[in-house]
């Protein structure tokens, strides 16, 4: 399998080159030249444990030797705290897919434990080094640091919006003092961090000179591992219920997590509906309701990892929506850059996409969902998971079980849990142990030259 750009300006490259490149040199996102049909594998995959399933699903997209590939994947999930890696728990009428059992207690671990090992494998074979630049709205940063810390061929520079991540999320990042880890508090919103990231990668001379790489979901290998847990959860729930199809509710801001579900459906997994759930930053929900993508200034909320208006992975979706026509994608992206909005309405009176339905759950909705779920079922949701469950509850069908993604441990948002329940319920030993630890970070303006100079001085 080869990889191309959503904007058409990249000659086909292999999997390992795609991993190291991260963002295509034409400014587009890297995608496979075909989506494999996994329908014939579904029966055999149902009984596999998570690491074996991950090796099989992702192996359809990769070009590494089989034995080394399986070892690399198995090692990537050795640090998870639950034997199922991503267990599925029935909570009332909804099945909760728990994605917070990794080292940083967030779903990003599932991809970044793998990506750190994959980087190390490729760089060792090629005798190269890489300087990774990341932008985070809360969870990517700590997960990336846990995946890359201490690896001698890698440095990581993490940008996060100053004052707009939870104190625990910040402590998880800034308390890591390894010499290859640099935390940058950016005076702006997450969209500023993401803009700086893309501008650094589009500065091709600097990108080459500084040997830049990416762990954000603009990197195909960051997104690919997220496809696996859709298969794993669907198999478990179909086995429990006897259902032939399932639904997934996905709280999302950057469109990466739900795009992974979209890929799973395209590969043949029997997904009847993807329920896209947003908080007040509802640019994605509005698109699926109107066909108009119109970003507005991001607003801080209790679910900060979703406080995003410029969803970088949306371009990958547009590529497949456009029939893999890079010319149409390029026109849409230019329209967005010039006008601040783009339109991609359906041709007829039907939905924008028959697979995807969207809804919004604001702060009061999320707080009420946390409180109600705990009171009725004794189950504690994090605020992002609560957004997913709230919107999921509007789209239930008894014939198609609903699986809702819980993307982080509630202890990462202890103050929000206290606000919702009136009780101090959200704790985890790994987070409680962060109190009082020394921290290190640098404060920078939301300007690309400042970040570029900071990186240049350290590489």
- Per-residue pLDDT band at 348 (split at 50, 70, 90): confident
Q: What is the mean pLDDT of residues 154-158?
A: 97
CA dihedral (118, 120, 123, 126) in degrees, to 10, reads -90
Task: Give me the count of residues in the chain.
Answer: 459
Q: Rounded CA gap, 17 and 253, in Å?
A: 28
- Per-residue pLDDT band at 140 (split at 50, 70, 90): confident
Q: Which residues are within 8 A (CB) of 416 and not within 5 positions of it... i.e. 6 or more apart?
A: 302, 367, 370, 383
Predicted pLDDT at 216: 85
- Per-residue pLDDT band at 70 (split at 50, 70, 90): very high
Q: Rounded CA gap, 79 and 182, in Å?
A: 23
pLDDT at 138 over 80: no
Q: Rounded CA gap, 384 and 188, in Å?
A: 22
Domain spanning 88-105+221-430 has what CATH number?
3.40.50.1100
Q: What residues pair up with 176 in beta bridges, in sequence order?
A: none
Q: Rounded CA gap, 436 and 439, in Å?
A: 9
Q: What's the gap between Cα 370 and its chain centre?
A: 22
Q: How many CB atoms lie within 10 A of CB 412?
A: 31
Q: Yes or no: say if 390 and 366 are a contact pair by the CB < 8 Å rule.
A: yes
Per residue in 253-287, pLDDT (tens digit) is 999 999 999 999 999 999 999 999 999 999 999 99
Per residue in 29-68, pLDDT (tens digit) is 999 999 999 999 999 999 999 999 999 999 999 999 999 9
DSSP, residue by residue, 226-269: HHHHHHHHHHHHHHHH--S-EEEEEE-SSSHHHHHHHHHHHTT-
Residue 429 CB burial class (10 angstroms; 0-12, 13-18, ≥19): exposed
Q: What's the gap between Cα 330 and its chain centre?
A: 23
Predicted pLDDT at 137: 82
Q: Rounded CA gap, 353 and 317, in Å?
A: 11
Per residue in 206-252, pLDDT (tens digit) is 999 999 999 988 899 999 999 999 999 999 999 999 999 999 999 99
Predicted pLDDT at 293: 96
Q: What is the mean pLDDT of the chain?
A: 95
- Per-residue pLDDT band at 388 (split at 50, 70, 90): very high
Q: What's the gap between Cα 307 and its chain centre?
A: 13
Model pTM?
A: 0.94
Q: Rounded CA gap, 71 and 48, in Å?
A: 16
Q: Which residue has the higher pLDDT, 91 or 137?
A: 91
Per residue in 2-27, pLDDT (tens digit) is 999 999 999 999 999 999 999 999 99
Which residue's entry shows tokens 């999302």? Answer: 252
3-state secondary structure of 454: helix
Q: How many CB atoms lie within 10 A of CB 203?
A: 15
Q: Yes or no: say if 184 and 446 are a contact pair by the CB < 8 Å rule.
A: no
Token pair for 14: 């292999």
Q: Yes or no: say if 132 and 101 are a contact pair by the CB < 8 Å rule.
A: no
108, 151, 198, 412: which is the annotated catalytic residue? 108
> What does each C-alpha distance from 123 to 16, 116, 225 come to in angstroms?
10, 11, 20
Q: What residues pair up with 275 in beta bridges, in sequence order?
A: 249, 357
Lowest mean pLDDT among 378-382, 391-395, 433-437: 433-437
Q: Rounded CA gap, 349 and 285, in Å?
A: 18
Q: Rounded CA gap, 403 and 388, in Å?
A: 10
Percent of the chain with pLDDT over 70: 100
Query: Helices (DSSP H) in 29-166: which residue ranges?
Result: 42-45, 50-59, 66-76, 108-126, 139-148
Predicted pLDDT at 57: 98
Per residue in 77-134, pLDDT (tens digit) is 999 999 999 999 999 999 999 999 999 999 999 999 999 999 999 999 999 999 999 9
108 included as an active-site residue: yes
Helix and strand counts by DSSP (H, E) for the chain = 19, 15
Query: Helices (DSSP H) in 149-253: which residue ranges?
Result: 167-174, 190-202, 204-209, 220-241
Q: Rounded CA gap, 298 and 275, in Å?
A: 22
Give residue limits of the domains in the chain.
88-105+221-430
Token pair for 7: 């904007």
- Per-residue pLDDT band at 350 (split at 50, 70, 90): confident
Residue 48 CB burial class (10 angstroms; 0-12, 13-18, ≥19): middle
Q: Rounded CA gap, 272 and 351, in Å?
A: 15
């Amino acid at each position: 399998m080869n990889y191309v750009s959503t904007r058409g300006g990249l000659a086909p490259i292999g999997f390992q080159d795609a991993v190291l490149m991260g963002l295509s040199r034409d400014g587009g996102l890297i995608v496979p030249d075909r989506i494999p049909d996994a329908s014939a594998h579904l029966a055999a995959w149902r009984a596999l444990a998570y690491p074996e399933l991950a090796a099989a699903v992702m192996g359809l997209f990769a070009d590494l030797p089989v034995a080394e590939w399986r070892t690399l994947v198995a090692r990537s999930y050795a640090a998870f705290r639950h034997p199922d890696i991503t267990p599925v728990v029935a909570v009332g009428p909804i099945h909760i897919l728990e994605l917070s059992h990794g080292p940083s207690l967030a779903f990003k671990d599932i991809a970044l434990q793998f990506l750190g090992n994959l980087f190390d494998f490729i760089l060792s074979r090629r005798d190269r080094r890489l300087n990774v630049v990341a932008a985070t709205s809360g969870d990517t940063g700590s997960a990336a640091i846990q995946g890359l810390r201490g690896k001698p061929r890698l440095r990581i520079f993490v940008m996060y919006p100053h004052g707009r991540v939870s104190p625990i999320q910040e402590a998880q990042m800034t308390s890591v003092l390894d010499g290859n880890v640099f935390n940058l508090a950016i005076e702006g919103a997450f969209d500023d961090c993401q803009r700086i990231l893309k501008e650094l990668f589009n500065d091709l001379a600097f990108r080459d000179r500084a040997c830049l790489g990416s762990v954000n979901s603009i990197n195909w290998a960051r997104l690919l591992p997220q496809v696996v847990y859709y298969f794993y959860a669907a198999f478990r729930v179909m086995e429990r219920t006897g259902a032939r199809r399932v639904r997934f509710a996905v709280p999302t801001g950057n469109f990466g997590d739900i795009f992974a579900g979209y890929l799973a459906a395209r590969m043949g997994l029997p997904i009847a509906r993807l329920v896209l759930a947003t908080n007040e930053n509802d640019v994605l929900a509005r698109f699926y309701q109107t066909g108009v993508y119109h970003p507005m200034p991001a607003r801080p909320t209790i679910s900060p990892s979703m406080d995003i208006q410029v969803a970088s992975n949306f371009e990958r979706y547009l590529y497949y929506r456009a029939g893999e026509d890079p010319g149409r994608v390029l026109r849409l992206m230019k329209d967005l850059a010039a006008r601040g909005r783009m339109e991609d309405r359906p041709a007829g009176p039907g939905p924008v996409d028959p697979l995807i339905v969207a809804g919004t759950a604001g702060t009061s909705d999320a707080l009420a969902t946390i409180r109600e779920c705990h009171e009725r079922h004794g189950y504690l949701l994090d605020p992002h998971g609560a957004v997913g469950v709230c919107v999921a509850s509007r789209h239930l069908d008894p014939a198609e079980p609903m699986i809702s993604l819980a993307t982080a441990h509630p202890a990462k948002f202890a103050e929000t849990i206290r606000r919702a329940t009136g009780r101090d319920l959200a704790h985890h030993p790994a987070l409680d142990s962060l109190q009082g630890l020394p921290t290190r970070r640098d404060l920078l303006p939301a300007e690309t030259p400042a970040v570029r100079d900071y990186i240049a001085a350290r590489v």
